[in-house]
Structure 1
Amino acid sequence: MHWIALRWLFEADTHTTTPTPMTADAPTLPTPEALGWWALRYTPHVAWQDEALMLEVSACERLWGGRLQLMRQLLADNPAPDVRMQGAQGATSLIALARLRLFVRQEQRPKDMPAGLPLDTLSAARTHLDLLARLGCRTWGDVAALPRGGLTRRFGAELRAALDAAWGLRPESHAWLTLPDVFEQKLELPALAETGPELMWSANRLLSALQIWLRGRQRGARALELQWTLDLKRFNGVNLPPHQQVTVRTAEPTQDMAHLRRLLSEKLALTTLAAPVSWLRLRTLETDPWAGASTSFLPEDNRKGDKLHEMVERLSVRLGAQQVVVPSAQADHRPERKQAWQPALHKDPPPTDKPHKQTKQANKQAQAAASQPDVLYPPWLLPEPQLLEMDGERPCYRGPLSKLSGPQRVEAGWWGDKEEGGQPALRDYYVAESPEAGLVWIFRERHSARFSAGEVRWYLQGFYA
């Protein structure tokens, strides 16, 4: 057996045995559960023991190049770069923990291991230090030399069992850490928060834990929920809900915490807290398998800056979903209805209350036509077709129009649009030339046998450059 003990120390903890509590000015440190998940990358046997994270590495150390190389790798891969991490090794977990405590106190390890270890480095002996000192016991070996029966009757079985485990006379038992299937972490705030931005410091700790979980599970986050617990049940005579929350969604799975942090900051900046907040909880709503990031040897392919979808998501959160829109192809042959605008974060068209009576085959054909525009379509379309004046039977737009090509026949809306009173669109399109406007795109309305004939009308649909 071989153990590694790790501990994260702030500067104020260097000469103390009690970690400094988290404050708003302190560096962020992932939660204890997340630190254990990080250690699972190196060995499946990870457990917390008092203030240290214990790793049993006898079965996997050779995979990392030996004990020394593994220790260097652990120190280099510190999950909290702003917080000092220290480690020590030993044949048992108790010896590794005792050596770590000596290292934190900057004391030399004894030559006789483990008999020469100071007694205050053994957790099971800390409640009996005064009495043991009066008996002349200063080290582990002094206590181990006492009669077993008398030691057990006077100090309990725990101390004797700890000494036996330290010498390897009995097996150790630990509650091994495992990686959960779904991420959900709860954290108490160091102080009550009254505004949304004040929640970000503690949210950063949860995001650090999320990143470790995503890497361990090889997943990418698609949707997250940050929930906070209100410290009051009633405020200004109004009953308050126990919780509030915001949801963050991304277009693609991501492990980039900087992007999620920006999205969450934008959400919290626009959020008004109903009451002071005492607890935070972060959980994943949707994750996808993570394929990893691919890079190129070509320098022009490794561009710096945000990805397009990240910028769109951030602007949508800041300005509102309805203010950042993208075009969406529609299943319609009419040029003015081939494209619609919808929020960039909701690319799928919303369902309608009264679906069209199209067949599946007609819908597929219309979708194909919408996604493959005709080469005769002009680069500039009017928002709505403009009715043209007539000179006898000749349409006019800044002078009489001369038809150059056509007709291109379009029949759509036969399923009966409510906006058009159930009238289908029967059109013949032409490319025409205007004496002043140049090339234009016009169409003539045709009449169906189902509807009464009337005056022939011509419309202007678009312009050519």
Structure 2
Amino acid sequence: MLWACILFPQLALDSILRERDDPDTPLVLIGGPVQRRVLQAVNPAAAKLGLKAGQALTAARALADGFTCIEPDPGRIEHLQQLLAAWAYRFSAQVSVHYPRALLVEVGSSLQLFGPWPLFQARLRDELAGLGLRNRIVLASNPVAARMLANAHDGLAASTADETRDALLNLPIERAGLPPDACEAFLRMGLRNLGQVKALPRDALARRFNVQVQLHLDQLFGLRSLGLDYYQPPDRFEARLELNFDVESHQALLFPLRRLLNDLAAFLAGRDCGVQRFALHLEHAQGPDTVLQVGLLAAERDAAMLFELARGRLEPLRIPAPVRSLRLVAADLPAFVPQHRALFDPRAQQAQPWEQLRERLRARLGDEAVKGLQAADDHRPECAWQGAQQGGPAALRVAPGSRPGWLLAEPLALPEAGLQWLGQAERIESGWWDGGDVRRDYYRIETRDGLRGWAYRDLAQPGPLWLQGWFA
């Protein structure tokens, strides 16, 4: 087995930055007791002001001004880590969040599907960059070694037990995840890396240090396994995003909406499903939420398409009060069936598949403005079709070409002079059971201009020839 550890060293800060549309604004995370607030993390804009993690807040204010202070939200961090687990679930069924700010992913069984490790790793980094998260990735032969090696390395690939052992022997003591008292004791003894600790007699270590130290060392070198709880994707998606200020315009809601839908798309891809219906809650300071329902005719999971559909529904919506936060809820998550395409797709690059065009039209014009047609079991032409709310396909029960592609809204009287009669008459007698009884003889005709039509004589009321429709 091969384990990849994806470490997120700035997860608390990234969980805030990814939700803001002003990345150039200096921002710091603060923590500690009220009497002595300390900077826990700073973004690049704040670092340019001379601020750094570990500074006291009073010293930072004396050094610079104009930066924003935010306290980390454990709930937001936990939600983001669960989202990342859902994202990683698409690559492996063995994903664990055993360690904070890190994912453990068994990738040995996935290499045949996603390619060799360098390509696989590049794909992971590209997708994490799209989610707005900084990361370090390490590959090792066991999960504990992968996690601890990520403390000191980025991009290390120890694909065998021997390579993992060699990398661990050079790992600094303070990066090995040992208990603080044991780490301090090893440093006082003059031991600087795990290789020096490993060279000590095992029974001497057992007498001087508690059992947790020896257990951790055994797990590091693969002598004992670590029991992991594997991630199981939930049956619904729910995410909430607080805005920096009260928002009254649709334009200011687009950035947080895009971020929520990107997270939804990552969740859907990891769960290998699509979404057919979701609700966007616009939460106000007072009063009930404004709920925007977005429904699709078929399951989708493309982030760009979901954003376009939600944007089309949001723009005509009247916002009754300033919006404080957005909440996205998706519970209808059916299986996703990707569209089949030929190897050499003849469509132009700018063309859209019909499914996407249909959804965009519904989002812009409304659900009732776009309808489909389906065949009905009736021989009368005006009753042989009906509108379909879902636009689903229906098999025609007539031979292709035997009916015109364009039926007139009302039959028109047609002069018979100059017409050419094609073939024999087709008689239709139907509708006696619903009061719409018809008795007609239908003919295929051709005009002097070469147009081919479908006309009939009414046998119940003899009269002129009536044109019913045109053939293409």
**Aligning the two structures, in what range does the TM-score lie when normalised by the shorter sequence?**
0.5 to 0.7
> Gaps spanning 5+ residues in structure 1: where?
105-110, 350-363, 389-396, 417-421, 448-454
Shift of 1:183: 4.5
**Residue of structure 1 equivalent to 2:430:** 412
Q: How does 1:116-195 map to 2 (within 5 A)?
A: 117-118=171-172, 120-121=174-175, 125=179, 162=216, 165-166=219-220, 171-180=225-234, 182-189=235-242, 191=244, 194=248
Q: Deviations over 1:62-108 (max 9, x none)?
A: 86899xx525522334322445542234565454334323347xxxx
Shift of 1:383: 1.7
Query: Is the contact made by 1:118 and 1:138 (CA closer than 8 Å) also made in structure 2?
Result: no
- Equivalent residue of 1:368, what SS? coil
**Residue of structure 1 equivalent to 2:305:** 259
| One-letter amino acid matched to 2:5 | A
Shift of 1:320: 1.8
Q: How does 1:40-439 map to 2 (within 5 A)?
A: 40=89, 43-48=92-97, 49-56=99-106, 60=109, 69-70=116-117, 72-78=119-125, 79-82=127-130, 83=132, 84-90=134-140, 93-103=143-153, 117-118=171-172, 120-121=174-175, 125=179, 162=216, 165-166=219-220, 171-180=225-234, 182-189=235-242, 191=244, 194=248, 198-219=252-273, 221=274, 223-228=276-281, 230-232=283-285, 234-235=286-287, 240=288, 244-251=291-298, 253-273=299-319, 275=321, 276-288=323-335, 290=337, 293-297=340-344, 300=346, 304-341=350-387, 345-347=390-392, 368-369=397-398, 372=400, 374=402, 381-386=407-412, 408-416=426-434, 422-429=435-442
Query: Is the contact made by 1:329 and 1:339 (CA closer than 8 Å) also made in structure 2?
Result: yes
Q: How does 1:16-27 map to 2 (within 5 A)?
A: 19=14, 21-22=16-17, 23-25=19-21
Q: Deviations over 1:191-247 (max 9, x none)?
A: 46555555554444454444445445544x261313436244x43xxxx25x72422
Between 311-320 and 271-280, report the one with greater CA deviation.
Answer: 271-280
Query: Is the contact made by 1:46 and 1:177 (CA closer than 8 Å) also made in structure 2?
Result: yes
RMSD: 5.1
**Residue of structure 2 equivalent to 1:4:** 4
Closer, same or farther: CA 382–88 of 1 in aligned 2, 3 Å: closer
2:428 and 2:368 map into 1 onto residues whose CA distance is 32
Query: Is the contact made by 1:226 and 1:245 (CA closer than 8 Å) also made in structure 2?
Result: yes
Closer, same or farther: CA 191–151 of 1 in aligned 2, 3 Å: farther
Structure-2-length-normalised TM-score: 0.63
Closer, same or farther: CA 212–434 of 1 in aligned 2, 3 Å: closer
Closer, same or farther: CA 112–412 of 1 in aligned 2, 3 Å: closer
1:430 and 1:161 map into 2 onto residues whose CA distance is 91
Query: Is the contact made by 1:6 and 1:54 (CA closer than 8 Å) also made in structure 2?
Result: yes
Q: Deviations over 1:354-399 (max 9, x none)?
A: xxxxxxxxxx9xx634x65636x6x76432134x6xxxxxxxx669
2:448 and 2:142 map into 1 onto residues whose CA distance is 95
> Gaps spanning 5+ residues in structure 2: where?
24-76, 155-164
1:36 aligns with 2:90: no
2:453 and 2:278 map into 1 onto residues whose CA distance is 52
1:401 and 1:264 map into 2 onto residues whose CA distance is 56
Query: Is the contact made by 1:47 and 1:54 (CA closer than 8 Å) also made in structure 2?
Result: yes
Closer, same or farther: CA 373–333 of 1 in aligned 2, 3 Å: farther
User: Structure 1 vs Structure 2: percent identity of aligned residues?
Assistant: 19
Shift of 1:307: 0.8
1:326 and 1:114 map into 2 onto residues whose CA distance is 64
| One-letter amino acid matched to 2:430 | A
2:448 and 2:148 map into 1 onto residues whose CA distance is 95
2:313 and 2:369 map into 1 onto residues whose CA distance is 15
1:62 and 1:463 map into 2 onto residues whose CA distance is 60
| One-letter amino acid matched to 1:415 | W
1:161 and 1:268 map into 2 onto residues whose CA distance is 56
1:17 and 1:121 map into 2 onto residues whose CA distance is 20
- Equivalent residue of 2:346, what SS? helix
Closer, same or farther: CA 341–24 of 1 in aligned 2, 3 Å: same
Query: Is the contact made by 1:197 and 1:268 (CA closer than 8 Å) also made in structure 2?
Result: no
Q: Deviations over 1:100-158 (max 9, x none)?
A: 23347xxxxxx9975765555355646x6998799688857699989767765xxxx86
Query: Is the contact made by 1:399 and 1:434 (CA closer than 8 Å) also made in structure 2?
Result: no
| One-letter amino acid matched to 1:427 | R
1:42 and 1:438 map into 2 onto residues whose CA distance is 59
Query: Is the contact made by 1:224 and 1:282 (CA closer than 8 Å) also made in structure 2?
Result: no
Closer, same or farther: CA 414–116 of 1 in aligned 2, 3 Å: same
Shift of 1:55: 3.2
Shift of 1:24: 2.0
Return the index of the structure with the highest Cα Rg.
Answer: 1
Query: Is the contact made by 2:8 and 2:101 (CA closer than 8 Å) also made in structure 1?
Result: no
Closer, same or farther: CA 311–429 of 1 in aligned 2, 3 Å: same
Which of these residues, 455, 459, 463, is aligned with residue 446 of structure 1? 459
**Alignment coverage as a number of residue pairs:** 396
Query: Is the contact made by 2:432 and 2:438 (CA closer than 8 Å) also made in structure 1?
Result: yes
1:438 and 1:300 map into 2 onto residues whose CA distance is 32
1:270 and 1:120 map into 2 onto residues whose CA distance is 57
Shift of 1:44: 4.2
Closer, same or farther: CA 436–198 of 1 in aligned 2, 3 Å: closer
Between 255-264 and 117-126, report the one with greater CA deviation.
Answer: 117-126
Query: Is the contact made by 2:441 and 2:456 (CA closer than 8 Å) also made in structure 1?
Result: yes
Q: Deviations over 1:414-446 (max 9, x none)?
A: 112xxxxx2512234467899999987654433
